[in-house]
Structure 1
Amino acid sequence: MTTPIHVYSEIGTLKTVMLKRPGRELENLTPEYLGRLLFDDIPFLPAVQHEHDQFAETLKEQGVEVLYLEKLAAEALKDESVRERFVSELLTESKADVNGAFDRLKEYLLSFDTDAMVDRVMSGIRKNELEKGIRSQLHEMMDDHYPFYLDPMPNLYFTRDPAAAIGSGLTINKMKEPARRRESLFMRYIVQHHPRFKGQDIPIWLDRDIKFNIEGGDELVLNHETVAIGVSERSSAQAIEQLVRNLFKRQSQIRRVLAVEIPKTRAFMHLDTVFTMVDRDQFTIHPAIQGPEGDMRIFVLERGKTEDGDIQITEEHNLPDVLKKTLGLSDVNLIFCGGGDEIASAREQWNDGSNTLAIAPGVVVTYDRNYISNACLREQGIEVIEIPSGELSRGRGGPRCMSMPLYREDVK
């Protein structure tokens, strides 16, 4: 590997991936605050860790190098001045100055070794962890009963969203929901300070301080020339346009972006919850994102014919036709989640039946619970490697959501 980032397809043989093992942050979920923290249920930590370990082991057995976000972050923050800057920035973004608690929280976090500090930042800091002296007498009398000085980050095991690899570079994303916005800070520090990435001149196509929202679950690299991005509940058209302009200005290989509009609902959330690539000409899709005649709104963004950075935009409505044209295919095969059955497709899409992780052309990792969708994939010649999903699926994300590819071999 001559560069730490190399992702020019969704299906090229996966060589390096970043995961996050679920941790104590899940045990800081309570029914009262599930909505605030973007969860529908509370996973059982030992079971969800066991399932995630099996996911990681499955990837390793296929020859994939597995890196862990929490370990990379700790290794990036070994320098004392970098660690102090990180803590200050994180606390500021967390608005963790309740009753003047900022300085005490900073002191508390910096009192730990780096690994323990990262764990506590990710897990959240309960008010009862710190001595009562941090809270004023008036606040004791008017306590709002919110239990945290620093909110937990239970969504961190969905490493796909805070940052995403496109070509040789990254988008470090401004996430839509406040509960997740701090997550991309880890990737910024990893790229800037971890020995594996520091000094590698990695292009940052979009950084996390942009004005508009975008998330990695909406970013799909279809081939070395074409990227698809969902216009979704979590990613805005404005951010997509800014990304396109930056890509066109700073590199020459990627020539077009397909902006695919999907319903803006939590059930669909990101493009990869309803559409993923499983082979050179085969894709999974949830039929509910198409209209009665299979129509959709797809905007093809290409370089303009002038040299002033203009973008040429064409609106299309037929997904197979767009894929054939832009990917140079004679035909494409859309494999319906749940076999297209109204009930089965809705049920299995809720459990991420379309959220496949391709580890090679025609080889995907899926949740075992989506047995109808998995059977449909196998019927089309796709090799399906199932992983257990009783607890992992409670977070509303599948194998693609839980993985951030950093290096894929090019598709021959």
Structure 2
Amino acid sequence: MLNVYSEIGKLEAVLLHRPGKELENLVPDYLERLLFDDIPFLDLARREHDNFAEILRGNGVEVLYLEELATESIDNPDVRNDFIEKFLDEGNVVGLGTREVLKDYFERFSNKELIDKLMAGVRKDEIPKLINKSLMDLTDSNYPFVLDPMPNLYFTRDPFATIGHGITLNHMKTNVRNRETIFAKYIFENHPRFKNPNLHIWFNRKEAFSLEGGDILVLSPKVIAIGISARTDAAAIERFSERILYSDESFETILAFDIPKKRAFMHLDTVFTMVDHGKFTIHPEAEDNLTIYSITKSNRFHGELYIEKEELPLEQTLQKYLEVDEVALIRCAGGNAIDAAREQWNDGSNTLAIAPGEVIVYARNYVTNRLLEDNGIKTHVMSCSELSRGRGGPRCMSMPLIRGSL
């Protein structure tokens, strides 16, 4: 059973995606379209990712891979065919000739090969000459891909989020990433281990507003923090809040963190993560430009929300809702203007807690890592020269499925 009621409970099972050929389909002309700033070297990125997985396994965490669960979820031929049709729809493959050739092309692949290929993307020069049956087939001639690659997949935090015993199946802000959520949809509907007709889905991928997992932090069994960010809409947070606060779950308060809408602050977890009881990493620039709203159930009408702007400083707001005596904010690189900006660009504030006071961090953020250790936090340092080019840290690359109770 899915079980996540905190950010720091002992991590027991986690979902990762080992980077694949999708990274080798990144080219300079299309980096912005695919939300990348640089091109990681696949061989080294895989070795770094394997190091990440080894750290997790070495600390008793069960590591599951997205590509393996997706493969096991399309074992039924009818499910496989339906998956292909839905994937082509969401890949915007509308030309009749292109669809026909692609489906024929996919027939040669095993389930594992199919999943890998869909993740990697399909180049036009890989398949036979397209059949010209529509205007789309005839005019779309310059772009090199029939299906775009999915290089953001190794950031498994974003397409869905485990909250309590349920999930949000997210609507991603950009079309290029929204296809990623289809893998989670088929896993939770078809995988022998995870399919559950009674699974709580707090938010659905077909919603009108965007919500991404990097903005969702489960701070305690009572409190969830969600970023109003460049990738998550305030309206989505309200819709989610209505559903979970009026459910049978234990959550009582949603804290909506309104953060600057910029690339370096992509999600709340790029500027703020929990590392221990009452201890958090934070980017100083975000702290100085932060507004927090508390969302609770209305006392007047069932199903309505009470929303209030919090006037207390961040530390006191966290003390109040987490019911702790003291809150420590560990500022990225100690708040130094140069070091903090450099380390924040490489996700210095993005840590993955595997137990209270024990986190995985990127090696290159050595100033922040030293501060964490000075504050009593045990750090597991991973190599990251290639993985960090995707602008996401250890928390971004992991989706906890099961955490122990605090």
Shorter-chain TM-score range: over 0.9
Match of 2:145 in 1: 148
Q: Give 2:388's aligned residue.
A: 393
Q: 1:374 to 1:306 in 2, by over 3 A?
A: same
- Contact preservation (8 Å) 2:260, 2:290: no
- 1:171 aligned counterpart, secondary structure: strand
Deviation at 1:346, TM superposition (A): 0.7
C-alpha deviation, 1:105, in angstroms: 1.3
Counterpart of 1:79? 76
Mapped pair 1:95 → 2:92? yes
Deviation at 1:202, TM superposition (A): 1.7
Contact 2:48 2:387 in 1 (8 A): yes
* Map of 2:345 onto structure 1: 350
Aligned to 1:407: 402
SS in 2 for 1:331: coil
Partner of 2:331: 336
Q: Matches of residues 257-336 of structure 1 in structure 2 within 5 Å?
A: 257-291=254-288, 296-317=290-311, 318-336=313-331
Output the amino acid matched with 2:169.
I
In structure 2, stretches of 5+ residues that fail to align are none
How far apart are the structure 2 equivalents of 1:305 and 1:184?
35
Q: Is the 8 A contact 1:12 1:410 kept in 2?
A: yes
Is 1:375 the counterpart of 2:370? The answer is yes
Q: Is the 8 A contact 1:84 1:110 kept in 2?
A: no
TM-score of the two chains, using structure 1 as the length reference: 0.96
What CA deviation, in whole Å up to 9, does each residue of 1:5-32 have, x standing for no partner?
Answer: 1000000000000000000000000001
Amino acid at match of 2:217: L
1:88-127 map, 5 Å: 88-98=85-95, 100-127=97-124
Map of 1:360 onto structure 2? 355
Residue pairs, 1:185-196, within 5 angstroms: 185-196=182-193
After TM superposition, the structure 1 stretch with the greater mean CA deviation from structure 2, 387-396 or 144-153, is 144-153
Report Cα offsets for 1:57-92 as digits up to 9, x if no partner: 110000000000000000001000001111101101
Instruction: Output one character per residue of 1:337-367: Cα deviation in whole Å (capped at 9) or x when no partner.
Output: 0111011001000000000000000000000
**1:140/1:76 Cα in 2 relative to 1: closer, same or farther (>3 Å)?**
closer
Identity %: 51
For 2:384, what is the secondary structure of its paired residue? coil
Deviation at 1:240, TM superposition (A): 0.3
Could you say which residue in structure 2 is the equivalent of 1:57?
A: 54
Q: Which amino acid aligns with 2:297?
A: R
Farther off after superposition, 304-313 or 220-229: 304-313
Q: Which runs of 5+ in 1 are unaligned?
A: none
Query: Equivalent residue of 1:92, what SS?
Result: helix
Letter in 1 for 2:378: E
CA positional deviation for 1:145: 1.7
Return the offset for 1:182: 0.3
Of 163, 175, 182, which aligns to 2:179? 182
Q: CA RMSD in A?
A: 1.6
Secondary structure of the residue aligned to 1:322 is helix
Which secondary structure state, in structure 1, belongs to the residue aligned with residue 149 of structure 2? coil
Q: Deviations along 1:147-192, whole A, 9 cap, x unmatched?
A: 1110000000000000000110000000001110100110010000
Distance 1:128 1:281, change over 3 A: same
Provide the aligned length of Structure 1 versus Structure 2: 405
TM-score (norm 2): 0.97
For the Cα contact (< 8 Å) 1:70–1:119, is it kept in 2?
yes
Cα drift, residue 97 of structure 1? 2.3
Asked whether the equivalents of residues 101 and 128 of structure 2 are also in contact (C-alpha less than 8 Å), the reply is no
Q: Specify the SS of the correspondent of 1:134.
A: coil
Paired amino acid for 1:224: P
Q: Which is further off, 340-349 or 107-116?
A: 107-116
- Shift of the 128–365 alpha-carbon distance from structure 1 to 2, 3 Å rule, reads same
1:238 maps to a residue whose letter is A
C-alpha distance in 2 between matches for 1:189 and 1:137: 30
Distance in 1 between residues matched to 2:213 and 2:324, nearest whole Å = 26
CA contact (8 A) 2:17 2:65 kept: yes
Q: Offset of 1:100 from its aligned partner? A: 3.0
Partners of 2:319 and 2:233 in 1: CA distance: 26
Matches within 5 A, 1:10-25: 10-25=7-22
Whole-angstrom distance in 2 between the partners of 1:140 and 1:314? 52
Give 1:137 deviation, angstroms. Answer: 11
Q: Moved runs in structure 1, 4+ residues, more than 3 A? A: 135-144
Residue deviations 1:109-150 (CA, integer Å, cap 9, x gap): 233110000011000011111111434799998663211110
